[in-house]
């Protein structure tokens, strides 16, 4: 009997390297596949692309923007998802202030010149205090942003973030809601609210992480994904 598929969805300006450690760490219990969300211009388009390239039944893990895509997948095809993990993400729409910030970022990325997707300043808000001077982590994230470039950044940033609170209450598959204790972008309070809306959710807050949990605490993220996959799926 073949191992189950787990589809891993990266976040904004992330590629498969975000999940590098989980791909290796999960290989003994699942077949990881990293979804591509760099091409669609709407949340629905991204969800349909993931569904079209996944098996009939699969486990699903989404990080940040990938978690928003994962929630859309659950709205469209809940019967296909056996297990769900939502990492460092949100179920809320942008506030007017956040929407204005996104427009400013799009404007900056549209200007000629070298695209700096992840500098030291951004590292201060994305990483836990103990990781903010970690050159390996910073360079790993920067390499992803530079591989994908400004066009992908602009396309992903323009994707509307919906209010998903009502649909979360209908999720019945085993679910993991995980974030870093120092996550400034999608803080623990948000994830506690998210987990409270999902009947089958387990909440995990990692002490030594900011927003980038798969990179900052890779072994812990892998361990919690393994525990999720070991839970019995809901039979359809």
Sign for the pseudo-dihedral over CA of 144, 16, 183, 222: negative
Contact 153/109 with Cβ under 8 angstroms?
A: yes
**What is the tens place of the pLDDT at every residue in 58-96?**
999 999 999 999 999 999 999 999 999 999 999 999 999
pLDDT cut 70: percent of the chain above it: 97
pTM: 0.96
Beta-carbon count within 10 A of 41 CB? 11
User: Confidence class of residue 30 from pLDDT cuts 50, 70 and 90?
Assistant: very high
With a cut of 90, say whether residue 233 has pLDDT above it. no
Beta-carbon count within 10 A of 146 CB? 15
With a cut of 70, say whether residue 109 has pLDDT above it. yes
Mean pLDDT in residue range 103-131:
83
**Which pair of tokens denotes residue 26?**
């999960």
**Which pair of tokens denotes residue 119?**
């500098």
Which region among 79-93, 115-129, 216-230 has the lowest average model confidence (pLDDT)?
115-129
Place of tokens 């970690």: 134
Calculated CA dihedral for residues 25, 30, 34, 35, nearest 10 degrees: -150
Which region among 106-115, 211-220, 221-230 has the lowest average model confidence (pLDDT)?
106-115
User: Confidence class of residue 190 from pLDDT cuts 50, 70 and 90?
Assistant: very high
Distance CA 161, CA 71 (A): 11
With a cut of 80, say whether residue 121 has pLDDT above it. no
User: Confidence class of residue 117 from pLDDT cuts 50, 70 and 90?
Assistant: low
With a cut of 80, say whether residue 150 has pLDDT above it. yes
Distance CA 130, CA 121 (A): 15
């Amino acid at each position: 009997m073949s191992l189950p598929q787990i589809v891993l969805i990266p976040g904004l300006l992330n590629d498969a390297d975000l999940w590098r450690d989980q791909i290796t760490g999960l290989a003994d219990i699942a077949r990881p596949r990293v979804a591509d969300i760099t091409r669609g211009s709407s949340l629905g388009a991204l969800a349909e692309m993931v569904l079209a390239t996944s098996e009939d039944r699969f486990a699903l893990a989404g990080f940040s923007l990938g978690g928003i895509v994962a929630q859309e997948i659950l709205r469209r095809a809940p019967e296909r998802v056996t297990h769900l993990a939502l990492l460092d993400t949100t179920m809320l729409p942008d506030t007017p202030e956040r929407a204005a910030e996104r427009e400013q970022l799009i404007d900056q990325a549209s200007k000629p010149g070298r695209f700096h997707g992840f500098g030291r300043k951004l590292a201060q808000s994305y990483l836990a205090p103990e990781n903010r001077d970690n050159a390996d982590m910073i360079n790993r994230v920067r390499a992803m942003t530079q591989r994908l470039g400004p066009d992908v950044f602009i396309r992903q940033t323009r994707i509307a973030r919906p209010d998903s609170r009502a649909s979360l209450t209908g999720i019945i598959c085993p679910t993991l809601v995980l974030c870093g204790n120092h996550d400034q972008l999608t803080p623990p309070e948000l994830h506690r609210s998210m987990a409270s809306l999902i009947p089958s959710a387990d909440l995990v807050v990692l002490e030594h992480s900011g927003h980038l949990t798969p990179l900052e605490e890779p072994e812990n993220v892998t361990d919690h994904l393994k525990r999720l996959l070991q839970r019995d799926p809901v039979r359809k």
